[in-house]
Structure formats: C-alpha cells, structure tokens
Amino acid sequence: MSEQSRHGYLVLADISGYTSFLAKVELEHAHEILTDLLEVILDRFQSLLTISKLEGDAVFAYVDETSVPRGETLLELVESTYVAFRQRRDTSNRATTCSCRACQSMPSLELKFFVHHGNFIVQHVAGIRELVGSDVNLVHRLMKNHIFEHTGWKAYAMFTRTAMECMKLDLDEVHRQIETYEHLGDIDTVSINLIPRYEAIIAAQKFYISEAEADLSVAHEFDIPQIELWQILTSPETLNALAKNAVTWSALKRPNGRNGVGAVNHCAHGKGALQTTILDWKPFDYFVQYGVDGNQKWYDLYEIKPLPDKKGSVFICRWKADMGMPRWLTRLMGKFMVRKLMNSFFEQIENYIADSKLQEGAKTGQ
C-alpha cells in the first residue's frame, strides 16, 4: 500500500573515492572502514532524518518539512555530520598501526551531500520501505554533476535552489551552478565547500563556560529530542512564540547569511531592549552568547544533551556576569534573579511543547 504524497527534504550523503579505494586495497579492512564511517553518518542523520536506505557507500534519508521549522538546522546537520566524519576518519587513520593499503588510504575518502526539497511517496511493498517520485530521482541524479570540474572541490554540500529557498537561506561564499539532466531539464544548484567550513569550525575560539566558572548553573529535562530543542532555542520566531509575543526577538546580523559566531540578536521588552552576540556555536550541542541590557552585561551558555533514550534531552543553562562586581554578589544575583527568569523560560518551553503536541494531535485526529 502507498501513503499520500509528502512534502519535505531529501538528503543523500555519499562517501566519495570509495570505488577507487576499494579497487586498490584489502577487502576485509575496507569493509570495516566503510562500516565505521557509515555508522557515524547514520548516528548524526537519525537525530533529525528518517533513514530510507543504505545505497552501498551512500545514505539516503528524508524528513517532512514540518519537522524542520528552522531551515538552517538542516545545513547545520550537514556540517556537523561532515565534522564527525572527518574526525572519525582522521582519528582512525592516526590511531591505526596497520600498514595495509586500506588503512593507509583512509585519508583519500571524502564526503559529499545532496539536498533537495520536493514531493515523495513512502511506499511499502513486502515489508520494504521505498521512496518514489520524480524529486527522489532528481536528488539521486545530482550525484552526477560538474562541481569538481568547475571548483576542484572534493567535499561539498550541493543544494537545489528549491531546497535553499525552502530553508530560507541566502548565503555568501557559495558556488552557483546549473546542472542539466535528461527529462528533468536545468536544475539551479547552490554548493558549499565543506573543507574550509570544517577548518573554520575546528579553529573557532571556544568560549565554553564550565560549572565552576558560572555564577549560576541550572538544568531542566524536556520530552523532545536534542535537535528539536536546538531549533526552539535558536529561532527568533519561536522565542517570540514562547513569550506569547510579550517580547520581540529579531535578527540584527547574520555573517555570511548564517546564524553562528558573530550573529547578533535583538530583543525589545517593555520600554527596554537587550542584545546578544554569539561567541561560540556548536550545533546541536551548545552555544555561548554575550548579552547586554542597559548596564547589565553577561555571558550565557545554552547546552543541550540527549538523554540515554535519545527521545528526550536536558537543557543546561550557565550564566556568568560581566559587570565588574564581586563574585559573591554576582552569585547572589544569579541565585535570586536569574534563576527565576530561567525557571520561567523553562515553563514557557514546556507550554510551547505541549501546545505543539496538541496542534499535531488535532491535525492527525488523535
């Protein structure tokens, strides 16, 4: 039987260089290496995407558009998956004492991503789940492209213009190219070189606030996955919804069109206003921001850790004052003022989650 047509993102992660790698090396170790790297990709993807199937050295996955209200989350997932892939590949290569060609050739393996937004049907036949539709064909056709000829890039993420528009992103420092396919015509694409992105992410200055450094540290468990909580905390629109529009969050600055280090957010509340600047950004684990509200200045760490079942998550907030005051006084401020604000924030998130579940239940008739 077939389901109704669905709308969402189709994502392919392809380990490139594997065919030539396999032709030159020992099969047993090559299989172990591929399995290890595929498990890294699967682990990252499953935090947001539904795995359709493994296609040799590629992973094909999808997600309904309603599960990604903040489109940039999908790009962050691609980048964090690439970082995890590179770290596993490079760490395994450095750690191995095996001199076989498979283990020594690991650095030749790279990762590419292909992302499209469109319609598809999830078809179940004899217990096998299969995605069908012209958009499913399109995302697979993207794997045959001319990116390397024009750029020399070995690791990249290619998005169709349709996907990028649905994600509501307008990025700088990208490669725009038209690919032409039989029966599909001209396809506008936007590609990102992942190697410099990896280097920038690894080299970024860390402003992580430890519990010992913080003037206040509080935590709260939520019954939603890590990546869903990340989307709530990083979307100005959702933050406005949390507060029932009693405050107005807006994006003032987005370097390279992205949220992340250097991004500035503004919040109008009553007769006042506060501004936050992102100092450290590690999707989907944590971010650190510097806040200014009149004479009050502080650092916030928002950290999210998945619970063991990965269905829930814990939100850890650490606050550190930057007002030239004695530590005992800033700790008192944290204990009696900031804690109250954070408990109210936790309650707002819980109410938002409950409202979202009610709305979802109404849509599905449950």
Per-residue pLDDT of the chain (366 residues), as tens digits, is: 446 889 999 999 999 877 666 665 566 667 778 888 999 999 999 999 999 999 888 999 999 999 999 999 999 999 999 999 998 888 766 555 566 666 666 778 999 999 999 999 998 887 778 899 999 999 999 999 999 999 999 999 999 999 999 999 989 889 999 999 999 999 999 999 999 999 998 888 788 999 999 999 999 999 999 999 999 999 999 999 998 878 899 999 999 899 999 999 999 988 888 999 999 999 999 999 999 999 999 999 999 999 998 889 999 999 999 998 999 999 999 999 999 999 999 999 999 999 888 777 666 665
Instruction: Give the CA distances from residue 351 to residues 218, 272, 355, in Å, rounded to whole numbers and listed in that order.
Output: 19, 25, 6
| Final residue in a domain of this structure, among 168, 184, 202 | 202
The DSSP symbol for 2 reads: B
Q: What is the pLDDT of residue 93?
A: 62
Do both 12 and 70 map to the same domain?
Answer: yes
Same domain, 181 and 94: yes
What is the distance between the alpha carbons of residues 186 and 188, in angstroms, rounded to a whole number? 7
Q: Kindly state whether residues 177 and 212 are assigned to the same domain.
A: no
Residue 1 falls inside a structural domain: no
Q: What is the pTM of this model?
A: 0.85
Range of the domain at 45: 6-202
What is the rounded CA–CA span in Å between residue 67 and residue 8? 9
3-state secondary structure of 169: coil
Q: What pLDDT, on the 0 to 100 scale, is given for residue 22?
A: 65
Q: Is residue 135 part of a domain?
A: yes
**pLDDT tens-place string over residues 91-104:** 766 555 566 666 66
Q: Which residue, 202, 237, 259, sits at the end of a domain?
A: 202
Residues 17 and 152 in one domain: yes
Distance CA 86, CA 121 (A): 33
Q: What is the pLDDT of residue 102?
A: 61
272-312 per-position pLDDT tens digit: 889 999 999 999 999 999 999 999 999 999 999 999 988 89
Strand ranges of the sheet holding 264-269, from the earlier edge strand across to the other edge: 216-222, 313-321, 296-306, 286-293, 272-282, 264-269, 247-253
Q: Are residues 84 and 11 in the same domain?
A: yes
Cβ contacts of 290-298, under 8 Å, gap ≥ 24: 290/322, 295/323, 296/323, 297/321, 297/322, 297/323, 298/322, 298/323
Report how far residue 133's alpha carbon sits from residue 118's, in angstroms, rounded to the nearest whole number: 9
Question: Which CATH number is 54's domain given?
Answer: 3.30.70.1230
Amino acid type, 80 = S
Task: Report yes or no: 180 and 186 within 8 Å, Cβ to Cβ.
Answer: yes
Are 294 and 272 a contacting pair, CB within 8 Å?
A: yes
